[in-house]
Amino acid sequence: MTRRVVVTGLGLVTPIGNSVEATWTALMKGQSGADRIKRFDVEKFPVKFACEIKDFDPLNFVEKKEARKMGAFIHYAIAASQEAMADSGLSVSDEISEQVGTYISSGIGDFWAIEREHSKLLNDGPNRISPFFIPSAIVNLAAGQVSIRHHAKGPNSATATACAAGAHAIGDSFKIIQRAAADVMICGGAESAITPMSVAGFAAMRALSTRNDDPLTASRPFERDRDGFVIGEGAGIMILEELEFARRRGARIYAELVGYGMTADAFHITMPDDTGSGAIRVMQKTIQDAGIQPEEVGYINAHGTSTPYNDKFETLAIRKTFGEHAYQLAVSSTKSMTGHLLGAAGGIEGVFSVLSLHRNILPPTINYFNPDPECDLDYVVNEPREAVVNYALSNSFGFGGTNAALLFKRYEDGQ
């Protein structure tokens, strides 16, 4: 019999709130986290705004001496994991430590550390490089640091699959528990890539919105005049547990994770497949993995980046996957408020999908002013929508044509 996997804890650090409740409140109010970049001088940059984390103090979660050894994405991961673990009520004893794992991914890791230490190398020479440079920057150290802090001795991993990384971490953790390699996984994504080099690089690709005069409305997924994504940062973490393990300890259960899919476009390094093939197949595989019919899905938290091609082809893929039912299910992109958190996107959007099921309300896509004839689905526009949904799908697509999807199911006691 296949082991069932449930969600028992949630943690967030996002541009619109430094906790689950603060973020969800802002989400329901339709608040944008975009503003002019405060962290460095953007006067000469073609893009001058982003969705930065605000009023976050890592010393609330990490000792000062240790905090200096970590990149910001690790700080965010530790904070979100601490919240998720507290929310789950789980304490990792020696008895269960080998059955508790960590899987926290990132698209880039810590760009700040790379830029800072490279500047030292050029200006002062190799002997000035910090001995903590590598462990502060590399992708898997978010999972490593969280593992250390929570004495989780089970599987410890990370992927660097661009904007699908957080979803891959959750999906892979789901499969780890299903095959009994762990009973609990602390999983999700973290990112801190709002830096001069990163912003300049994404701008050079023409991937970013250039609405410097109006950052608040710059991210407008599925809207006619969208012109690119708004880069964000933060972390989204959830605690997954094998159902009977969770029941035995009396855990509160938010939802059940029932399906996971992975595919590749095999098409282009950055642009999505113009037939929607990779996105279609990943949604189909996820639904098949759950053993349900497409018509049972009621809500999709879309990848919805606010780029011209992604939103057009994701809409196409949803139509081809669900047929006529595509017009009966609700779709929203929370990136309209949080911006695009790159490798952390799948983590925070997985949390949003779970909360949508648990709280019977769907978050909106804000900044939707003018419909796009090529994006013609039932988008949850500008205001949240009360709805009882049994299955919620979360899509994540990344550069290199990597795709992931997660399917969550409403959980009722006694199921």
| Catalytically annotated residues | 163, 303, 340
Chain-centroid distance, C-alpha 259? 17
Phi/psi at 218 (nearest 5 deg)? -70, -40
**Residues 97-133: b if buried by 16+ CB within 10 A, e if exposed:** eebbbbbbbbbbbbbbbbbbbeebeeeeeeeeeeeeb
Strand ranges (DSSP E) for 14-76? 35-36, 49-50
Beta partners for residue 386, in sequence order: 361
Half-sphere CA count of 103, side-chain side, radius 13 A: 28
Query: Which whole-number Å values give the CA distances from 33 to 9, 209, 211, 327, 388, in the listed order?
Result: 24, 14, 14, 29, 28
For residue 167 the two structure tokens come to 């979803």
For the chain, the distance separating the N- and C-terminal CA atoms, rounded to the nearest angstrom, is 15
**Positions of E strands within 219-268:** 234-242, 255-264
Half-sphere exposure of 320 (CA within 13 A, CB side): 17
Q: How many CB atoms lie within 10 A of CB 43?
A: 6
